[in-house]
Amino acid sequence: MHHWQTGGDEMEFVEAIQKAGVVGAGGAGFPTHIKQNAAAEYLIINAAECEPLIETDKYLCRTFADRIVETVEKMAAHLKAGHRVIALKAKYKQEIKALKEAIDRQKAGVEIFEMGTYYPAGDEQIMVEQVTGRVVPERGLPLNVGCVVENVGTVLAIADALEDKPVTDKYLSVTGAVKEPVMCLAPLGTPIEDVLRQAELLVKDYAVILGGPMMGKLKKDREAVREAVVTKTTGNLLVLPSDHYLMKRGTMSVERMMRQAASACIQCRACTDLCPRQLIGHNVEPHRVMRNIWRQESVTDAAKFERIFGSAANCSSCGTCEMFSCPMGLSPRKMNDYAKALLRERGIQPEKNQEPVKSTALGHRRIPTERLIARLDLTPYVSHGLPKLYEVTPKEVFVPLSQHIGKPAVPVAAVGDEVKRGDLIAEAAEGLSANIHTGFEGVVKEITPQGIRIGRREA
C-alpha cells in the first residue's frame, strides 16, 4: 500500500479519502471524496463550533494543531487553493494560540480568521460570506464561489486517510446536565449509553440531544436513547432533564404547530428579518409561510403555491427564527420544514437566485450566542473547564449502514466473520455513498437493513 504525499498524484489523494470512508464530520455527512474532487481558491476550515455547548472542535484544535495545519497544507496543494483559512471564534484563545504556534513552527501559509460569538457562525454559507465577502447562490455550494469548506474533524480524518487509516472512531463531547463536560473517543456504532457512562450525569430522568441544542436530534424516551449509536457525524451528546424547555419544544406535533401559527402569529416579521440566510440575500420568508400554512391544501395552483411557500426551500433549518426571534414562541422553522416537504410532494422546484445580494443590516442582526443560550434556558450548563478525554470500550457495537448523505453502504462482512479494527465491513454503494469500517474487534452477530452488529468473541 502506498501513502499519499504532497505533490503526489491528484487522484490518489481523492481515492485515499474515498477508500477511508471520510464524510463531513461536522454536518450531515457529505462524502468528502466528492467535495475534494475539485479546485478552489479558498480552503476554509470550519472550527467555529456552530452550536452552543459543544466542545469537540475546540478539543481537536488544542490537541492536534500540528496535524491540522500540516493536513490543511496538503489539502490546499491538492485543491490548488491560494487561500487557506482556519475560521474559529475569536474567544477561543487557547485554540487560536495552539494553531498559530503550529503555523509558525511549520512556516505554513495558513491564516486564522477570528469570528464573533454569534449563531450560526459555523453555517458554512455564513462562514464563506464572513471570510471572503462572497455569497453562495440559493441552494448552491461554497464551490460555486470558489470555496471548499471542511470541518476540522474532517481534516483529521483526511490526515488519517492519507496514511491509509480509515474512519473507525469518533471524538465527541458530552455536555449539559453533567458534573463536568467530557470528551470521548468511541468506535463507530458505540451505544450512546456507553458514552454517557463516561460522564457524571446530574439528573436521573434525562433526555439526550445528538448534536447541539439548535439542530441536534432529540432522543426523548429511554428506548430512543438505548437505540442511538455513535456515527461519523455525532459530535456531541447534550444531556438535559427530560422536562427541559427544549424537550417540550422538540416534541410538539405538526398539527399543533400549524394551529398555533394560524392563531398566534402576529406577523411581526422578526423570524424573517433576523433569518441569517435571508440576511445574506437568499429569499427566505418564514412569516409568509406562517401566515398561509393553515390553508396550504386549498392552494391548488402550482405557481401560487410556489409564490407563497417557495421560500421555504432556501431555509437551512438553523432554528434562529423559532428558538430566538419569534416573540410568540411559534415554530417557523418546523413550518418551513413542513412546507419544504410539501414542495417536494408537489414536484415544485423554486427558481434559485444565482446572485443574491446581502442585506446592509447583516452586521447588526447577528444573534449573540450568550443571549441565545439564555433564551434556550441553557445558562446553568455552560462550563469553562477543559474537558478530559476518555476512551470508550463498548461490549458491542451496531454500525449503521447510512452515516452519510446518499445511499446506504452495502455489507461486505457476513454473520460469523471475525473482524478487526480498520476492516471494511460495508462498501460504498454506486453513486453518492461511503465505505464503512469497524473500530471494534469481534464477531459479526447480525446484519439488518439498518446496520451491522458486532459483538465480542465467545471466550
Q: How far is the CB of 22 from ligand SF4 (least distance, A)?
A: 27
Measure the CA–CA gap between 171 and 262, rounded to whole angstroms.
Answer: 43
Identify which of residues 136 and 426 has a Cβ nearer to ligand SF4 in the complex: 136
Given 286, 350, 408, 411, the residue binding ligand SF4 (CB under 6 A): 286
- Least CB distance to ligand SF4 at residue 441 (A): 42
Least separation, in Å, of the C-beta of 146 and ligand SF4?
Answer: 23
Give the interface segment with ligand SF4, choosing from 61-69, 172-180, 282-290, 297-305 (CB under 6 A). 282-290
Q: CB of residue 446 vs ligand SF4: minimum separation in angstroms?
A: 38
Least distance in angstroms from the C-beta of 366 to ligand SF4: 12
Total site size for ligand SF4, rule CB under 6 A: 28
Sites for ligand SF4 among residues 344-363 (CB under 6 A) = none
Instruction: Tell me which residues in 212-241 interact with ligand SF4 (CB under 6 A).
Output: none
Q: Is 288 among the residues that bind ligand SF4 (CB under 6 A)?
A: no
Residue 60 or residue 318: which is nearer to ligand SF4 going by CB? 318
State which of positions 247-276 bind ligand SF4 (CB under 6 A).
265-271, 275-276
Q: Supply the minimum distance, in Å, between the C-beta of residue 295 and ligand SF4.
A: 16
Q: Which stretch binds ligand SF4 (CB under 6 A): 86-94, 156-164, 286-294, 339-347?
A: 286-294
Nearer to ligand SF4, 120 or 153 (CB): 120
For ligand SF4, the closer CB: 82 or 329: 329
Query: At 331, which amino acid appears?
Result: S
Q: How far is the CB of 327 from ligand SF4 (least distance, A)?
A: 6
**Residue number with CB closer to ligand SF4 (262 or 443):** 262
Helix H, strand E, coil C: the string for the chain is CCCCCCCCCHHHHHHHHHHHCCECCCCCCCEHHHHCCCCCCEEEEECCCCCCCCCHHHHHHHHCHHHHHHHHHHHHHHHCCCEEEEEEECCCHHHHHHHHHHHHHHCCCEEEEEECCEECCCCHHHHHHHHHCCCCCCCCCHHHHCEEEEEHHHHHHHHHHCCCCCCCEEEEEEEECECCCEEEEEECCCEHHHHHCCCCECCCCEEEEECCCCCCEEECCHHHHHHCECCCCCCEEEEEECCCHHHHHHCCCHHHHHHHHHHHCCCCCHHHHCCHHHHCCCCCCHHHHHHHHHHHHHCCCHHHHHHHHHHHHHCCCCCHHHHHHCCCCCCHHHHHHHHHHHHHHCCCCCCCCCCCCCCCCHHHCCEEHHHHHHHCCCHHHCCCCCCCEEECCCCCEEEECCCCCCCCCEECCCCCCEECCCCEEEECCCCCCCCEECCCCEEEEEECCCEEEEECCCC
Residue 242 or 260: the one with the smaller Cβ distance to ligand SF4 is 260
Site for ligand SF4 in 314-333 (CB under 6 A): 315-321, 325-326, 328, 330, 332-333
**Binding footprint of ligand SF4 on the chain (CB under 6 A):** 265-271, 275-277, 284, 286-287, 290, 315-321, 325-326, 328, 330, 332-333, 336
